[in-house]
Amino acid sequence: MTELTGIFKQIEEHTYTIDKCFLCGCELTNDNKTEEHVIPKWLQNQFNLWNQKITLLNGTLLQYRYLTIPCCFECNNLHLKPFEDKIKSAFEGGYDTFNKLDRETLFLWLGKIYFGIIHRELFLSADRAKPDYGTITNPEYLKSFYSHFMFLQGIRGKHSFRDFFPASVYLFKTQKPLKIEEQWDFVDSQNTLFIAIRMGEIGIISSLQDCGATQKLEDLIQHHRDIDLHPLQFREMIAKILYKRFLMNRIPKFINIQNGESTETISLSLQGLSSKPIFDDWDNDVYSKILSEITGVALEICQPEKGKVWTWLMNADGNSIFIPFDD
Ligand SMILES: [Zn+2]
């Protein structure tokens, strides 16, 4: 067996414990220990999130202010801060400026938030009344996100993709309600590597590890881009893309190669040797259940009759509907 070096060694030796930096895995001491906010401070300030709660994997609610993970001084200040500054300044420029951000930056940003949440769950009891039940997630579970974690090393400039992009990233212009609490929305589906955020007039949805396959749905959603989505329509969009992701029947395969100080990843063909389509057939009855769950609208409305599904995005002629937020 060849000896592991560089990032491979770092990842292999990462224990995902509270005494290690979540990103580079280095040992934390009193001199280099910092805390990284999974939802960055500037966003929490912007949308007054500090005391609002996020729902974790097992249904636990946690205030955003406590959603922090251990991070070393170098990762925090040398890598994450400039990275966060870039996103923040694009955000401040509004939707059009944000839309100009390169997709890899967006991928890494969303990918860090996604991973940060699972990482935080390492240190929370699955059941607060029964501490011996263990934590919500465990290091073994985190290790199953090996490829994703490898990709995140791009934040430190230690990883790149060779001739492929690992994700689908969708941006939508959304309506900005007057009340600050209504300007923020967050959804994730942890086992599917899926995340969606609505922040003011910017809505982002990403399937983080489908090698862009879900993005083919773009044909279906393209004509909704002529309207600013109502928060409910944004939720419908999440349901659509998430269900499409569920229908994907292939698991992406990657090969990581050491390239000097950093690693590079190659992706194997998603189609593989089988001629079977990579998505199973769309089933409106299954989809309407997901739509109901994501939008919080009763199933009887989402599924008016068997085989049929409701939509807030278009009328009977297939044209987009603009729903003003006041309605
Ligand atoms: Zn670090």
Distance 198 CA to ligand 1 centre (A): 29
* Residue 2 reports pLDDT greater than 80: no
Tens digits of per-residue pLDDT, 149-168?
Answer: 999 999 999 999 999 999 99
- What is the token pair recorded at 71? 């991070």
List C-alpha distances in Å: 142 to 91, 190, 191.
Answer: 30, 11, 11
* pLDDT higher than 70, residue 228: yes
> 76 CB contacts (<8 Å, ≥6 apart)?
34, 36
Residue 15 Cα to ligand 1 midpoint, Å, equals 13
Calculate how far, in angstroms, residue 280's C-alpha sits from the geometric centre of ligand 1.
40
Ligand 1 centroid to Cα of residue 139, in Å, is 17
| Distance in Å, CA 246 to ligand 1 centroid | 33
Q: Which DSSP symbol is given to 279?
A: B
Measured in Å, residue 154 CA sits from the centre of ligand 1 at: 13
Least confident piece of the model among 117-126, 168-177, 238-247: 117-126
Q: What is the pTM of this model?
A: 0.94
Q: Give the environment of ion ligand 1: residues with CB less than 5 A.
A: 21, 23-24, 72, 75
Distance 221 CA to ligand 1 centre (A): 39
Q: What is the pLDDT of residue 239?
A: 96
Distances in whole angstroms, Cα of residue 322 to Cα of each of 78, 161, 229, 291, 313:
43, 38, 7, 19, 8
Percent of the chain's residues with pLDDT above 90:
72
Query: Locate tokens 């292939």: which residue?
Result: 250
Cα distances (angstroms) measured from residue 306 to each of 7, 156, 301, 314: 52, 50, 12, 20
Q: Where are the domains of the chain?
A: 1-161, 163-252+271-327
Task: Summarize pLDDT for 248-275 with one digit per residue, the tens.
Answer: 999 999 999 988 888 999 999 988 888 9
Ligand 1 center to 18 CA (angstroms): 12
